[in-house]
Structure 1
Amino acid sequence: HKSSRAVSGAFELSAQAVIVASGGIGGNHELVRRNWPERLGAPPKRMITGVPDHVDGRMLAITEAAGGRIINRDRMWHYVEGIKNWAPIWTEHAIRVLPGPSSIWLDARGKRLPVPLYPGFDTLATLSHIMSTGFDYSWFILTRKIIQKEFALSGSEQNPDLTGKSWRQVLGRATSGIPGPVKAFMEKGEDFIVEADLSKLVARMNALAGGEPLLDVAQVEREIRARDRQLDNPFSKDAQITALRGARTYLGDRLIRTARPHKMLDPANGPLIAVRLNILTRKTLGGLETDLDSRVLDAAGQPVPGLYAVGEVAGFGGGGLHGYAALEGTFLGGCIFSGRSAGRAAAGAVA
């Protein structure tokens, strides 16, 4: 449950070494907006949250007040495929869709995103483009056959086959239909719309977005038909279709990750599914400046005695190990390395 932050008393602990490992600022939308980088356009008016409530930057401020230096405040990594959790654990609890390559990606007005902003391609470039449209959300349109294979969800509770360490269940993704967690979102998630008819689908998309209807069914149909026509051409110049066909040359992707290419408007492949995609706060790439022993540095570049910082609160190491961007799958390494360095240095200092 979220803390009220109401002070009920005071206490003090003293230690020879303190290691700060409190995460970044993703749970504090006001702080995210305050530090939002100009290169990504105006900050979103509406976001959902990909980290627990306690990841709110409070320990960053406390450590700064104790003499630590925060650098690279505008380095951050947020996702564009966020959906609201129908069974939230924290405030505005968001789940990220980890998409395969087949869904058609439309902006708030129904225009297909430009090359190479396809599902699973370039997170920060897509974020920058979406914010340039003047809206803070976008849409996937896909089919039952696509969602069956291509929708994975972030979070341990959304992947019982992986957390249960069951190869049998993992291999079952190739044959068992729509995964249970995904099906639950289709039935209960507020961002999911399922309809057999495109005009009804678009009407419900407009209703979900609220306000003036932005989507025109004729425009959406043109975008989908233009994509579908490219499937008739074995030498298609549509870069997304080329990428889709390329992905299926790898056996693993063909079996459990990439749907067989098909036309979305063919009723045999339906029903159609629309998913509203929201901006999801996640990673803080800047933070407390540290040295190679994970010691927190002050404004003069000198270690603050007995103070260490590890993981995301230190920008995954040094105050910004990754720079302005990053590669998926590389964040945990900085946490492990900085934690190892801090543990060794702190143990040596207090021995």
Structure 2
Amino acid sequence: MTALSTPDGPAVDQQVDVVLIGAGASGLSCVIEAAGRGARVTVIDAAPSFGGTASGAAGGTCIAGSPLQDRLGVEDSVGLALEDWITWGGDSVDVEWAHRYLLASRDVFFDHLSALGVRWISIHPHEGNRVPRWHRPEGGGKRVMSLLAHHARALPNITWRFGYRAQELVRSGGRITAVIAMNGDRIVEISAPAIVMATGGFNNSAELVAMHAKQAAGAERVLLGGGPEAKGEGIRMLEAVGAQFTELDSVWMYPYGTPDYLKPGTDRGLAVRGVDGELWINDEGNRFHDESLRGGASGTGALLAQTEGRAWSVFDAGVASGLILADPYYLDGNKINRDRVAEFLRSSPYVESAPSAAALAARIGVDRRNLEAAINDMNKAIAAGLHRDPAFGKPLDGIAPLDEAPFYAVRLHPLARKNLGGVRTDLDCRVLDSEGRPIDGLFASGEVAGMAGGHINGHAALEGTAFGPSVFSGIVAGRAVVE
């Protein structure tokens, strides 16, 4: 392999024990384990600081049999959770990795993050789970990442190289021995007996999403919801050294994405949440789905079945007061910045508002009678005290009628959020080649490895099975490179 070079060749750093590429949730978990066990680690990340996709996520985690479940009287077990996991993900689930994660989810994950200062504040039911096991951390992913970064910063023997973009893995004598990285005109080659790829997925690359997300081929637009640096560069580097990949076409998309109007000329999307009373309206002005089923295995399919894979989220002023946009710009620490959310409702060209349903229909170009009928039918079902709406079975307990002007419509497109597939690894996170053999000196964890092993979730993911397994596989990798 030909290394990048300057006229004098790349600058060569002193050899360390581990080079870690990527300072997201999985990478920081890895470096905490490795450096905490005495390894000298150099961390490379193209971003200016810690973060990755996790810093903009809710941080919710699938945990089986946690102390919080015990306190709330939720009876759960690893066996029950594994059954749900396999039923949801299908025959491509990596059962060994899934079982291993669930066994560790209480002691290694829940207790591990609790010891770092994470406070678990609630659990919630989600599609595919027979009991509530989605655990919410206080402050979301941003707070968890801050605590991980604080702990990592305090450890000795770590060199941080932010702003350095890894370019190439160097092979010598049949093993991976170094990484070449760039920062502007400066090129460095960092050698180590263990290289860990924790570079994340490719859901901020329109090219790679279009290449792999075949299920959305007919959609007008697929929005990008990965971390800013989730551009698939780690996959390119791994491909160059003969690594084996699996399930790259399993791009997990949510149906509640809307374009980020503050980033014009891009396909960046925002996740629209907190609008439980919304109605999803297609281009004919009709409802088409139970809006409470918002996951990638339910709501996304319903959205993609509509004309050009798009719809409108319609709600009133009462529902708008709870709107959440899953992006750090709309947060003040742990709280929603309501002024910025209001600014979004006023200023986004992908939002329309009107004093009545009829006027809203005219503004979004749908049939007035259909839209009015959809709202009236829902309001009548709520007024009648029904527990589910007759049309699609949406649960109505706690849902208020849509009758408070102004009325809003937010344009919805599929939002590419997670890569359920990636590079194959063994149970020690060693990267496998095309023949299934470990590539000496090379490890991978987190989303670049399909969260863990290559495809821990299979074709569909229970909520909370990205963040947890990514952190867990980082811990496994950090231990493996030392042991």
For the aligned pair, the TM-score class normalised by the smaller chain equals 0.7 to 0.9
- How far the C-alpha of 1:10 sits from its partner, in A, is 5.9
Partner residue in 1 for 2:288: 113
Aligned residues: 305
Partner residue in 2 for 1:212: none
Contact 1:53 1:90 in 2 (8 A): no
Contact 1:105 1:141 in 2 (8 A): yes
Partner residue in 2 for 1:330: 465
RMSD value, Cα: 2.9
- How far the C-alpha of 1:102 sits from its partner, in A, is 0.9
1:57-96 equivalent positions in 2, closer than 5 A: 57-88=232-263, 91-96=266-271
- How far the C-alpha of 1:327 sits from its partner, in A, is 1.8
| One-letter code aligned to 1:42 | A
Q: 1:57 to 1:242 in 2, by over 3 A?
A: closer
Counterparts of 2:472 and 2:463, CA distance in 1: 17
Counterparts of 1:111 and 1:120, CA distance in 2: 17
Partner residue in 1 for 2:148: none
Partner residue in 1 for 2:204: 27
**Does the alignment pair 1:133 with 2:306?**
yes
Q: TM-score, normalised by structure 2?
A: 0.58
Q: TM-score, normalised by structure 1?
A: 0.78
Q: Deviations over 1:259-300 (max 9, x none)?
A: x612x2x4xx11111111122121100000011111101111
Q: Deviations over 1:309-328 (max 9, x none)?
A: 11000000010111111122
Unaligned runs of 5+ in 1: 163-169, 207-214, 249-259
**Does the alignment pair 1:154 with 2:288?**
no
- How far the C-alpha of 1:96 sits from its partner, in A, is 0.3
Counterparts of 1:99 and 1:325, CA distance in 2: 23
Partner residue in 2 for 1:55: 230
- How far the C-alpha of 1:34 sits from its partner, in A, is 1.9
| One-letter code aligned to 2:225 | G
1:220 is matched with which residue: 342, 367, 371?
371
Q: Secondary structure at the match of 2:321?
A: helix
- How far the C-alpha of 1:52 sits from its partner, in A, is 4.0
- How far the C-alpha of 1:9 sits from its partner, in A, is 7.9
Percent identical:
28
- How far the C-alpha of 1:237 sits from its partner, in A, is 4.8
Q: Deviations over 1:19-68 (max 9, x none)?
A: 1111111112222222224xx46353412221245312122021121121
Contact 1:24 1:55 in 2 (8 A): yes
Q: Secondary structure at the match of 1:124?
A: coil
1:199-348 equivalent positions in 2, closer than 5 A: 199-206=358-365, 215-235=366-386, 237-238=388-389, 243-245=395-397, 248=398, 261-262=400-401, 264=402, 266=403, 269-348=404-483
Counterparts of 1:89 and 1:51, CA distance in 2: 17
Contact 1:101 1:120 in 2 (8 A): no
More helix by share: 1
| One-letter code aligned to 1:96 | A
Contact 1:36 1:43 in 2 (8 A): no
Q: Secondary structure at the match of 1:229?
A: helix
| One-letter code aligned to 2:462 | L
Counterparts of 1:32 and 1:232, CA distance in 2: 44
Counterparts of 2:280 and 2:349, CA distance in 1: 18
Unaligned runs of 5+ in 2: 1-45, 48-162, 168-181
| One-letter code aligned to 1:302 | R
More strand by share: 2
More off after superposition, 21-30 vs 279-288: 21-30
Counterparts of 1:134 and 1:290, CA distance in 2: 39
Contact 2:222 2:416 in 1 (8 A): yes
Q: 1:121 to 1:105 in 2, by over 3 A?
A: same
Contact 2:387 2:396 in 1 (8 A): no
Counterparts of 1:17 and 1:85, CA distance in 2: 39
- How far the C-alpha of 1:125 sits from its partner, in A, is 2.0
Contact 1:28 1:56 in 2 (8 A): yes
Counterparts of 1:89 and 1:21, CA distance in 2: 29
Q: Secondary structure at the match of 1:296?
A: strand
Counterparts of 2:394 and 2:264, CA distance in 1: 39
Counterparts of 2:200 and 2:264, CA distance in 1: 18
